[in-house]
Structure 1
Amino acid sequence: MHAEERHQAILRRLRERGSLRVTEFAEELGVSSVTVRRDVEALAERGLLDRVHGGAVQRHGSREPGAAAGAGVGTRGTLVGSPRAVPADGAGLTFGLIVPAADYYYPDVIKGARAAAAARGIRLLLAISQYSPAEEQTQAAQLLDDGVDGLLITPCGPAADQGWPAGLGVPYLLVERRPGPGLADAESVVTDHAAGALAAVRHLAGLGRRRIGLLLREDSPHTPLVEEGYLAGLTAAGLDPEAAPRLRLAPPGTGPAGRAAPIERFTDAVAAGTLDGALVHNDHDAIVLLQRLRARGLSAPDDLAIVAYDDEVAALADIPLTAVAPPKLAVGASAVGLLADRLADPGRPRHRLAILPELRVRESSMGATASRPPG
Structure 2
Amino acid sequence: MHAEERHQAILRRLRERGSLRVTEFAEELGVSSVTVRRDVEALAERGLLDRVHGGAVQRHGSREPGAAAGAGAGVGAHRTLDGAPRAVAADGARLTFGLIVPAADYYYPDVIKGARAAAAARGIRLVLAISQYSPAEEQTQAAQLLDDGVDGLLITPCGPAADQGWPAGLGVPYLLVERRPGPGLADAESVVTDHAAGALAAVRHLAGLGRRRIGLLLREDSPHTPLVEEGYLAGLAAAGLDPEAAPRLRLAPPGTGPAGRAAPIERFTDAVAAGTLDGALVHNDHDAIVLLQRLRARGLSAPDDLAIVAYDDEVAALADIPLTAVAPPKLAVGASAVGLLADRLADPGRPGHRLAILPELRVRESSVGATASRPPG
**TM-score above 0.5, yes or no:** yes
In 1, Cα distance between the equivalents of 2:171 and 2:41? 29
In 1, Cα distance between the equivalents of 2:2 and 2:133? 21
Farther-moved stretch of structure 1 (33-42 vs 347-356): 33-42
CA drift at 1:159: 2.6
Paired-residue identity, %: 97
Farther-moved stretch of structure 1 (72-81 vs 133-142): 72-81
Change (3 A) 1:315 1:147: same
Farther-moved stretch of structure 1 (44-53 vs 250-259): 44-53
Deviations 1:145-174 (A, max 9, x none): 111000000000333331100000000000
Change (3 A) 1:275 1:54: closer
Conserved? CA contact 1:192–1:357, under 8 Å: yes
Farther-moved stretch of structure 1 (186-195 vs 58-67): 58-67
Change (3 A) 1:52 1:73: closer
CA drift at 1:371: 1.3
SS at match of 1:259: helix
CA drift at 1:289: 0.2
Aligned residues: 375
Conserved? CA contact 1:66–1:147, under 8 Å: no
CA drift at 1:368: 2.6
Conserved? CA contact 1:323–1:360, under 8 Å: yes
Conserved? CA contact 2:73–2:90, under 8 Å: no
Change (3 A) 1:25 1:353: closer
CA drift at 1:8: 23
In 2, Cα distance between the equivalents of 1:224 and 1:281? 11
| Partner of residue 255, structure 1 | 257
In 2, Cα distance between the equivalents of 1:236 and 1:242? 15
Conserved? CA contact 1:64–1:146, under 8 Å: no
Query: Greater CA radius of gyration, 1 or 2?
Result: 2
Conserved? CA contact 1:197–1:324, under 8 Å: yes
Conserved? CA contact 1:66–1:146, under 8 Å: no
| Partner of residue 105, structure 1 | 107
Farther-moved stretch of structure 1 (45-54 vs 133-142): 45-54
CA drift at 1:351: 0.3
Farther-moved stretch of structure 1 (277-286 vs 47-56): 47-56
In 2, Cα distance between the equivalents of 1:131 and 1:373? 44
Question: 1:81 aligned to 80, 83, 89, which one?
Answer: 83
Conserved? CA contact 2:179–2:190, under 8 Å: yes
Alpha-carbon RMSD: 9.3
Conserved? CA contact 2:164–2:184, under 8 Å: yes
Conserved? CA contact 2:52–2:94, under 8 Å: no
Farther-moved stretch of structure 1 (154-163 vs 30-39): 30-39
Conserved? CA contact 1:73–1:80, under 8 Å: no
Change (3 A) 1:72 1:202: closer
CA drift at 1:301: 0.3
In 2, Cα distance between the equivalents of 1:291 and 1:42? 63
Conserved? CA contact 2:155–2:175, under 8 Å: yes
Conserved? CA contact 2:74–2:347, under 8 Å: no
Q: TM-score, normalised by structure 2?
A: 0.78
CA drift at 1:258: 1.1
Conserved? CA contact 2:273–2:300, under 8 Å: yes
Conserved? CA contact 1:66–1:72, under 8 Å: no
Gaps of 5+ in 1: none
Conserved? CA contact 2:251–2:260, under 8 Å: yes
In 2, Cα distance between the equivalents of 1:8 and 1:305? 71
4+ runs of 1 displaced by more than 6 Å?
A: 1-16, 18-85, 87-91
CA drift at 1:338: 0.2
Q: TM-score, normalised by structure 1?
A: 0.79
Change (3 A) 1:78 1:111: closer
Conserved? CA contact 1:100–1:154, under 8 Å: yes
Conserved? CA contact 1:197–1:226, under 8 Å: yes
Change (3 A) 1:217 1:76: farther
Conserved? CA contact 1:177–1:189, under 8 Å: yes
Change (3 A) 1:43 1:245: farther
Deviations 1:258-313 (A, max 9, x none): 10000000000000000000000000000000000000000000000000000000
CA drift at 1:367: 1.7
In 1, Cα distance between the equivalents of 2:283 and 2:83? 48
In 2, Cα distance between the equivalents of 1:347 and 1:276? 52
Conserved? CA contact 1:13–1:19, under 8 Å: yes
Change (3 A) 1:5 1:185: farther
Conserved? CA contact 1:90–1:343, under 8 Å: no
CA drift at 1:350: 0.3
CA drift at 1:85: 10
Gaps of 5+ in 2: none
